[in-house]
Amino acid sequence: MFRISFDCVKNPAHLYSIHVFDGEETMKKIFCGICLTLLLSSHAWAGDEYEKTVTVETLAKTSSSWDGSALPNYSTGVPEVTVLRIVIPPKVKLPVHKHPVINAGVLIKGELTVVREDGKTLHLKAGDSIVELVNKWHYGKNEGDEPAEIIIVYSGVQGTPITVKK
């Protein structure tokens, strides 16, 4: 029979020390190994909570639309922000339209092609952002095999439509 006593103390350097007295050498090593493993793993788990951080990624910041044309000045009036989730089924082409207000979005799923009236084209894949054309005729089409899902934020003025069909 042997006797083992120990104390675990966290020192200022955030390290633990274990003192084992009396007992057979092999049992001491096993016991110390188990204690050390438990103490260090519990300290690591507690530390994970403090390691979590918030990240911010700018997806778009510009004064021009995707085709390079300058965005217009904001209109006067009561501001109105509209946020839409638009789902475009596979192989669907939207009607030709224009937006009289500044808008931007992020394609969440699928792929989307935006075509300006003169044929200039922008291809988007999931995760891509777009700053849309303002007062220019265009259309979007999903040429893929899965739905395209996009979130768009329109910054307009009350009483002004966000989309006008041709």
User: What is the structure's pLDDT at 3?
Assistant: 46
Other Cβ atoms within 10 Å of 83 Cβ, number = 10
**One domain for residues 84 and 143:** yes
List, for residues 1-51, the tens digit of each pLDDT value.
444 444 444 445 544 444 444 555 555 566 555 655 555 555 555 555 656
**One domain for residues 102 and 26:** no
**One domain for residues 32 and 105:** no
Residue 39 resides in a domain: yes
**One domain for residues 36 and 84:** no
Residue 21 resides in a domain: yes
**One domain for residues 92 and 133:** yes
What is the rounded average pLDDT of the residues 124-131? 98
User: What is the structure's pLDDT at 18?
Assistant: 47
**One domain for residues 40 and 93:** no
**One domain for residues 87 and 157:** yes
User: What is the structure's pLDDT at 48?
Assistant: 55
Residue 35 resides in a domain: yes
Q: What is the CATH number of the domain that holds 85?
A: 2.60.120.10
Domain that holds residue 145: 79-165
Name, in order, each residue with C-beta under 8 angstroms of 75's C-beta and a sequence gap of 6 or more.
101, 156, 157, 160
**One domain for residues 32 and 102:** no
CA-to-CA distance for 21 and 34, rounded, in angstroms? 16
35 or 113: which leads in pLDDT? 113
What is the rounded average pLDDT of the residues 123-128? 98
What is the rounded average pLDDT of the residues 136-165? 97
List, for residues 71-93, the tens digit of each pLDDT value.
999 989 999 999 999 999 999 99
Q: How confident is the model at residue 52 (pLDDT cuts 50, 70, 90)?
A: confident
User: What is the structure's pLDDT at 4?
Assistant: 46
Residue 59 resides in a domain: no
User: What is the structure's pLDDT at 57?
Assistant: 94
CA-to-CA distance for 112 and 106, rounded, in angstroms? 11
Percent of the chain with pLDDT over 70: 69
**One domain for residues 36 and 94:** no
Residue 133 resides in a domain: yes
Which residue type, as a one-letter code, is found at position 16? Y
State phi, psi for 78 to the nearest 5 degrees: -80, 120
Element (H, E) at 68: none
Across the chain, mean pLDDT equals 83
User: What is the structure's pLDDT at 59?
Assistant: 95
**One domain for residues 38 and 91:** no
**Count of domains in the chain?**
2
